[in-house]
Structure 1
Amino acid sequence: MRTSQHDLMWRQLLPTVRKHDEPLQVQLCTAFVTAMLEGRLPGGTRLPSSRDLAMLTGVSRNTAMLVYERLVAEGYVDARPRDGFFVCGAITPTQNAQPNADQHCQPPDWASRMLACDPQIVWAERPPSWRDVRYPFIYGQFDPKQFPLTQWRQCSRQALEVKAVDRWWQEGESVGTSQLIDQLIRRVLPRRGIAATHDQVLLTLGRQQSFYLLARLFARSGTVVGVEEPGFRDPRNAFTHEGAQVLSLPVDEQGMQVSPALARCDYLYCTPAYQCPTGVTMSQGRRQALLEHVQLHDQVIFEDDDDPETEYDGRALPALKAIDSAQRVIYLSSLSKLLSPGLGIGYIVAPAPVIEQLRKLQRLMIRQIPGNNQITAALFIQQGHYDRLLQQARENLQQRAATLANALRDALPDAEFAMPSGGATLWLKLAGQHDLLSLYYAGAAKGVLFDPGNAFCHEPDTLVQSSLRLGFGSIAHALIAPGIVELGRVVNAKRPGTVRG
């Protein structure tokens, strides 16, 4: 017999079903299973009838029946004919084990046992709540409204077919069996001018793992690695963690400068396509001079092609790797910027002996890259979806860049910037001197998020000239202009000497 207390108990246990979240069946099944495993629904508990469940949660009677059918099929619920549904008695709640209260038992001294990260390592992080910010001018994320979900879902379904699932497990197989590596070699790398064989490509979990593997293989005490300044912090951190000395190298309007300081380095890390964070594309002359320098001084270049192929006119300069006849360039990139960072698919292109050692190091960390994502991405490229998405991305980014530039000319006419020719960032130099940290927090308070220029600087005397980076790949096109108007108000209010009432 139902009572108001009975209804109240079930309303507390079951969620408020949200129509726009995951499927209703999934929401209810998850709620039931969670309550059972946490011990809030003991074995033998009678569950509401399907009619009562529908009324309590606001779903249809058919949905309620499907929920129970699924729970019965998965062994969480017993269906007793003419009696109803009951929690299966064989379910064991997963309760946290209580620590031993014996006063003589002491925990280990973890601090003395662990090799902690260098406390001087700084990560350029953004607030976890960046998605809730109205004007997120940040880089590294994608616009979900531009993602070809229908095509990706189609490829994902194909990757779940029996024959495809059988290829998920690739451990111990020849590297030549990787469907994704095959597509990278055939369809992606040639557009960067790179020719490679299967034994010259390693799949990684993204550029971050690529940094770590390269640092682990090449960096050691006494090694000197030159990195761009201003530049990306993560590779600097990876090399420093392995004991290398990191030397900051200046950047100008042509990219990394070929200066006398380069001769001190064993390795050089650079971003020639769109320098991080300035967006500068390394000139053809500078590329040739850099390759001649590393050949003369027996050095190796780590080329980070962070945002490949997004030159708006489709005529990007070839990668450094493409014009490296001496095999002194190790190339790394990913599918994250065009697809999604959450996929975690990166790759390294290097001579076969290097790839062999990197593969052994990777095996110490993971047994293999997730096969389902590999096959889905391979099918996505193979069936032409990647090419269409790339063309759409170029057009969308070009339109957004134009809107951003026009808005900046109106809102901050005395600021300086170079019009982007590709990629999804703009490097803005504000007039006068600004406290970038204060400006950052003032902008965040007004719903405007950007990357302050000093977040990319390691040397305290680096001249970033009150610069900041604006990303426009994830913010909605319609929000760019009003976001820049708000940014202009923040900057003008923070100008030195401004009187605020």
Structure 2
Amino acid sequence: MPSPRSTQWAQLFSLPEQPALPLQGRLRAAVVQAILAGRLSPGAPLPSSRELANLLGLSRNTVTSAYLQLMDEGFLEARPRSGVFVAHNAQPVAAVAAEPLVDRNGQSGQPPDWSVRVLRSLVDQPTLAKPDQWRGYPYPFVYGTYDPQLFPTEDFRECCARSLARSQLLHWTPDFETDDVPDLIEQIRTRLLPKRGVFALKEEILVTVGTQHAYYLLADALFDERKYVGLEEPGHPHARNSFSLRNPKWVEVAVDGDGLVVDALPVVDYLFITPSHQSPTTATLSLERRQWLLRKAELQDFVIIEDDYEAENLYAGAPMPALKSLDKTGRVIYVGAVSKSLSPALRLGYVVAPRGLITELRAIRHAMVRHPSAFLQHAYALFLSLGHHESHARRVNAAMQERLALAAEALRSHLPDFAFRLPQGGASIWVQAPAWVDAAELALMARSHGVLIEAGDVFFVKPPYPCTFFRLRLSSIAAAQIPAGIRALGLAVEELAKARGERRMPSTCAH
């Protein structure tokens, strides 16, 4: 027989009848309504994710994700060794009564039902996200900011100032219509691409507002509900979400220590891949597999979309040639980032593809944003031409090597039963926890210790439960904070183990 407390929770969090919303959205709506209506006062405790999942017949992933988002929005807060509570500043807001619209016959009108009208929604798609106040956390192992210790302030300021000189205004102030700043195209063509073994004509390059803009353009031009699109599993959630707007049929392809398992690839029309440093596992696709993948693309007549993710961040071994550099038949569309190592906020990327496709993408881009900021294109062309990009990349690589070494040492010390492989490059470590740990629950617990991690379920089209994987990004945290951050994460694991009644056992996995 259910206890009175359980019955109370079940009534309080009864899911609203809103079929257009997924279960997670309906649960969030129920919690918010209870808070705003004053039925849950500031500081009130909430049931654990396990208890609420059992009461409502939901998965723990659904409840945990709802709790995390409500924390981001300021409705809930986590307290160390105590649980989840209504945030102290989550006060009910007095609503301002609006006068209804009234027609000539005295009848009030009804607002549109946007849940029915919106045809392509991404609101409830799983994606990488951070709390609104994430910069206040002492240990942010997440992606999302420039590094103030590494940002080349003087060099970039010089390039911006030069672009603002009167003699340079004619180079970027006119309306470019469908074109890009020629100086930036030339720098991409002659400086960036040859380092990856890629040679292209200027007509084969399009500048984008970051790599996600490139994903959207490609999906708009190439995908529909009849197309089969292969994705690495686990893979890049931003690409998956951009592609999903055209509702293709997903085909998940396994990934191992050498990257995409080419022999496991079924029939597809397009394949998205991150071969340089696979997102999120950091594995590098072997040369043998690259060659076999290109041959298979010819035999099965499919096109490859290559995101050369973090290719510049290489710390050991010889650089692997880009897949595009091995392509002899024009089957590889190459997506790159110009400014990611400098700051993700600058939003400059590019696409290299056959001339006919670039022409189509250029027309779509013109309909969306006309063209990326010509001023920023011109300033970054100067940044590249003066050699600042290369010197900055060297500094970033040295710093990331130090941070990776510190993180690896701290993981071995404080989380010895967690498995990981130190990557040859990039700025993250893919970690596998013991089988009893669900990374989404650990991420929730870790916040109360000041630690932010990227739970692994968001990287999967079909996430397992429990999902034991998570990613530690090192681009937003200072080196000096890494050991203490991993130590705090270890405390969160201990707390989770006590809550679950688990004993932490030494792992047999090799690091």
Taking structure 1 as the reference length, what is the TM-score of the superposition?
0.76
How far residue 333 of structure 1 moved from its aligned partner, in angstroms, is 1.5
Tell me which amino acid in the other structure corresponds to 1:494: L
Contact 2:197–2:322 (CA under 8 A) maintained in structure 1: yes
Contact 1:141–1:337 (CA under 8 A) maintained in structure 2: no
Partner of 1:398: 401
Contact 1:204–1:345 (CA under 8 A) maintained in structure 2: yes
Q: Call closer, same or farther: CA 1:373–1:212 in 2, change over 3 Å.
A: same
- Counting only pairs closer than 5 Å after superposition, residues 88-167 of structure 1 correspond to structure 2 as 103-104=102-103, 106=109, 109=112, 111=114, 112-117=116-121, 121-167=125-171
Contact 1:170–1:368 (CA under 8 A) maintained in structure 2: no
Partner of 2:493: 491
Which ranges in structure 2 are unaligned for 5 or more consecutive residues?
A: 1-97, 505-511
CA distance in 1, matches of 2:488, 2:465: 28
Partner of 2:392: 389
CA distance in 1, matches of 2:144, 2:284: 18
Partner of 1:467: 469
Partner of 1:316: 319
- Deviation digits for residues 229-262 of structure 1 (CA, Å, limit 9, x no counterpart): 11111221222211211111111111111135x3
- Deviation digits for residues 265-309 of structure 1 (CA, Å, limit 9, x no counterpart): 100001001111111111111111111111110100010112121
How far residue 467 of structure 1 moved from its aligned partner, in angstroms, is 1.5
- Deviation digits for residues 84-104 of structure 1 (CA, Å, limit 9, x no counterpart): xxxxxxxxxxxxxxx987522
Residue 455 of structure 1 pairs with residue 458 of structure 2:
yes
How far residue 463 of structure 1 moved from its aligned partner, in angstroms, is 8.4
Contact 2:177–2:371 (CA under 8 A) maintained in structure 1: no
- Deviation digits for residues 316-337 of structure 1 (CA, Å, limit 9, x no counterpart): 2111011111111101011242
How far residue 174 of structure 1 moved from its aligned partner, in angstroms, is 8.5
RMSD of aligned residue pairs (Cα, Å)? 2.3
Partner of 1:481: 483
Tell me which amino acid in the other structure corresponds to 1:214: L
Partner of 1:199: 203
CA distance in 2, matches of 1:159, 1:119: 38
CA distance in 2, matches of 1:146, 1:450: 22
Q: Call closer, same or farther: CA 1:129–1:439 in 2, change over 3 Å.
A: same
SS of 1:249's equivalent in the other structure is: strand
CA distance in 1, matches of 2:177, 2:328: 31
Tell me which amino acid in the other structure corresponds to 1:264: V
Contact 1:239–1:246 (CA under 8 A) maintained in structure 2: no
Partner of 1:242: 246
Which of the numbers 438, 441, 445 marks the counterpart of 1:438? 441
Q: Call closer, same or farther: CA 1:147–1:101 in 2, change over 3 Å.
A: same
Kindly tell me the number of residue pairs found equivalent between the two proteins.
Answer: 401
- Counting only pairs closer than 5 Å after superposition, residues 393-432 of structure 1 correspond to structure 2 as 393-432=396-435
Q: Call closer, same or farther: CA 1:102–1:139 in 2, change over 3 Å.
A: closer
CA distance in 2, matches of 1:174, 1:435: 48
Contact 1:225–1:244 (CA under 8 A) maintained in structure 2: yes
CA distance in 1, matches of 2:350, 2:298: 25
CA distance in 1, matches of 2:154, 2:317: 25
Tell me which amino acid in the other structure corresponds to 1:155: C
Q: Call closer, same or farther: CA 1:352–1:404 in 2, change over 3 Å.
A: same
Which of the numbers 294, 299, 305 marks the counterpart of 2:297? 294
Which of the numbers 215, 218, 235 marks the counterpart of 1:214? 218
Taking structure 2 as the reference length, what is the TM-score of the superposition?
0.74
Partner of 1:80: none
- Counting only pairs closer than 5 Å after superposition, residues 355-374 of structure 1 correspond to structure 2 as 355-374=358-377
Larger gyration radius, structure 1 or structure 2: 1
Residue 351 of structure 1 pairs with residue 354 of structure 2:
yes
CA distance in 2, matches of 1:467, 1:263: 25
How far residue 209 of structure 1 moved from its aligned partner, in angstroms, is 0.7
CA distance in 2, matches of 1:113, 1:281: 43
Contact 2:225–2:249 (CA under 8 A) maintained in structure 1: yes
How far residue 121 of structure 1 moved from its aligned partner, in angstroms, is 2.7
Contact 1:228–1:251 (CA under 8 A) maintained in structure 2: yes
Tell me which amino acid in the other structure corresponds to 2:492: V
Which is further off, 153-162 or 236-245? 236-245
How far residue 493 of structure 1 moved from its aligned partner, in angstroms, is 2.6
CA distance in 1, matches of 2:435, 2:458: 19
CA distance in 2, matches of 1:118, 1:371: 29
CA distance in 1, matches of 2:101, 2:111: 15
SS of 2:185's equivalent in the other structure is: helix
How far residue 139 of structure 1 moved from its aligned partner, in angstroms, is 2.5
Residue 304 of structure 1 pairs with residue 324 of structure 2:
no
CA distance in 2, matches of 1:314, 1:379: 30
How far residue 342 of structure 1 moved from its aligned partner, in angstroms, is 1.1
CA distance in 1, matches of 2:230, 2:241: 12
Partner of 1:14: none
Contact 1:331–1:350 (CA under 8 A) maintained in structure 2: yes
Tell me which amino acid in the other structure corresponds to 2:395: Q
